């Protein structure tokens, strides 16, 4: 059974995708052969809900980025693999710090799972929270596994803003931190986004999707123990996926001998 109103919205989206520029009520009506009154009602409803706008201010409509935001949120909210949840719980118990699992959503990382530290002073992240992908260890973990052209396209969209003393302020600085993380064998942040917050992150690829597994806490507690936390993360991932997982599945990542991680 075809629901005509739903079909019309989908047809309209495909129309704008093919056209690639704003269209007037008359142009939409003529293209589809819809009555002007029905076309007006559809465009007005979508405009009122924030899905269309008039970029030229002359009665010509175009979709807003809200479609993209919704699509990204839907994709980001898909159920997490149980294997990732097991690793996160394991690390939360062993490190005593907050553990987050994140995925890319546009120019952000969205947290899909957060296990809070029991410490009174801790990283108080929340599920659904977004952090800038270019400025964080979580983000660097994820985009380190992207093809070069995909990473370059994303970084061209970034608005560089100083969040803390460790914030990379250019495309080149982001790339330098990614290269350093791959060479080190783990990604780190130290006041990169949240001041006085430290984090250690590793990428995990499951079902062709890249996730960031991150342990984070107050920098004054984290900084000296980052190498030890990285070692624990390597071992936890190895217990779940096998000892060669990071070496064979994660592109470009150095897997140092245990005593040098």
What does the domain layout of the chain look like in residue ranges?
4-64, 77-260
Chain position carrying tokens 């010509």: 60
Check: CB of residue 187 under 8 Å from CB of residue 137: yes
CA torsion 161→164→170→175, rounded to 10°? -140
Chain position carrying tokens 């040098």: 260
Strands of the sheet containing 60-63, edge to edge, are 23-24, 60-63, 52-53
Task: Tell me what pLDDT residue 9 has.
Answer: 94
Q: What is the CATH number of domain 4-64?
A: 1.10.10.10
pLDDT tens digits in sequence order for the chain, 261 residues long: 678 999 999 999 999 999 999 999 999 999 999 999 999 999 999 999 999 999 877 789 999 988 988 887 776 666 789 999 999 999 999 999 999 999 998 899 999 999 999 999 999 998 889 999 999 999 999 999 999 999 999 999 999 999 999 999 999 999 999 999 999 999 999 999 999 999 999 999 998 899 999 999 999 999 999 999 999 999 999 999 999 999 999 999 999 765 555
Phi, psi of 143 (to 5 degrees): -75, -10
Model pLDDT for residues 18-48, shown as the tens digit of each residue: 999 999 999 999 999 999 999 999 999 999 9
CATH superfamily of this structure's domain 77-260 = GAF domain (3.30.450.40)
User: Cα–Cα distance between 203 and 254 in angstroms, integer?
Assistant: 12
């Amino acid at each position: 059974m075809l629901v005509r109103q739903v079909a019309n919205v989908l047809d309209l989206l495909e129309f704008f995708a093919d056209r690639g520029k704003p269209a007037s009520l008359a142009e939409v009506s003529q293209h589809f052969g819809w009555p002007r009154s029905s076309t007006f009602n559809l465009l007005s409803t979508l405009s009122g809900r924030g899905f269309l706008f008039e970029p030229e201010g002359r009665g010509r409509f175009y979709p807003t980025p809200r479609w993209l935001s919704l699509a990204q949120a839907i994709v980001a909210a898909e159920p997490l693999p149980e294997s990732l949840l097991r690793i996160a719980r394991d690390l939360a118990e062993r490190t005593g710090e907050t553990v987050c699992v994140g995925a890319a959503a546009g120019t952000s990382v969205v947290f899909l799972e957060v296990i809070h530290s029991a410490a009174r002073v801790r990283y108080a992240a929340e599920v659904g929270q977004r952090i800038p992908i270019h400025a964080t260890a979580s983000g660097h973990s994820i985009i380190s596994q992207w093809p070069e052209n995909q990473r370059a396209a994303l970084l061209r969209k970034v608005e560089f803003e100083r969040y803390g003393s460790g914030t990379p302020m250019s495309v080149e600085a982001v790339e330098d931190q990614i290269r350093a993380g791959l060479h080190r064998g783990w990604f780190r942040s130290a006041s990169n986004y949240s001041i006085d917050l430290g984090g250690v992150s590793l990428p995990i690829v499951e079902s062709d999707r890249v996730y960031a597994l991150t342990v984070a806490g107050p920098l004054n507690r984290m900084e000296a123990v980052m190498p030890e936390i990285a070692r624990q993360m390597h071992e936890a991932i190895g217990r779940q996926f096998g000892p060669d997982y990071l070496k064979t599945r994660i592109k470009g990542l150095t897997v140092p001998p245990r005593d040098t991680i």
